[in-house]
Amino acid sequence: MSITTTTHLNFRGEARAALEFYREVFGGVITASSYADFGMPEHAPGADGIVFGQLVSPSGFHVMAYDIPGAADGSAIQASATTREHGVTVTDSPFFVSVRGETLDEIQQHWGVLIDGATVIEPLAASPWSPGFGMLTDRFGVIWILDVAA
């Protein structure tokens, strides 16, 4: 028997935009269904929100996303505070999304797109444990760690 875990991100009306952006970063195919697709009247507030969304790429990247019901006001969920202090990352975030690649070039390509509109916590650079490690909060408030397998 085997299991698979997938990061599931929750948004306030931005799930579709986030999935499209992550497709720019990682490639792949988006599957998305709105609340209207599942019977909510099309003109009801939030009917165009995503009730089930996912992105699956040929490289193995998989993320799910949905819009919190009743919160489709277009505002992003506020990211938890994450800062660098005295060379240490300090955060109260309950999770990060981690992407690990086999080569620095591969990770640099993803980083180069993901950084658009992001706040860099740790620039992508060599570290004691990896040829490339970086951390950022993207424009949707999601904290990402990208690194190269040592």
For the segment 58-81, what is each residue's pLDDT rounded down to a tens digit?
999 999 999 987 754 544 445 566
In this prediction, residue 76 carries a pLDDT of 44
For the segment 19-72, what is each residue's pLDDT rounded down to a tens digit?
999 999 999 999 999 988 988 888 888 889 998 999 999 999 999 999 987 754
The structural domains of the chain, ordered by start, are 7-67 (3.30.720), 82-148 (3.30.720.110)
In this prediction, residue 28 carries a pLDDT of 98
Mean pLDDT to the nearest integer, 11-16: 93
Q: CB within 8 A of 69, min separation 6: which ones? A: 35, 46, 49
Q: CB within 8 A of 13, min separation 6: which ones? A: 46, 49, 67, 71, 72, 73, 74, 75
* Residue among 11, 6, 22 nearest 51 (CA): 11
In this prediction, residue 133 carries a pLDDT of 93
pTM of the model: 0.78
Q: How confident is the model at residue 132 (pLDDT cuts 50, 70, 90)?
A: very high
Mean pLDDT to the nearest integer, 80-98: 68
In this prediction, residue 69 carries a pLDDT of 78
In this prediction, residue 94 carries a pLDDT of 63
How far apart, in whole angstroms, are the C-alpha atoms of residue 89 and residue 84?
Answer: 5
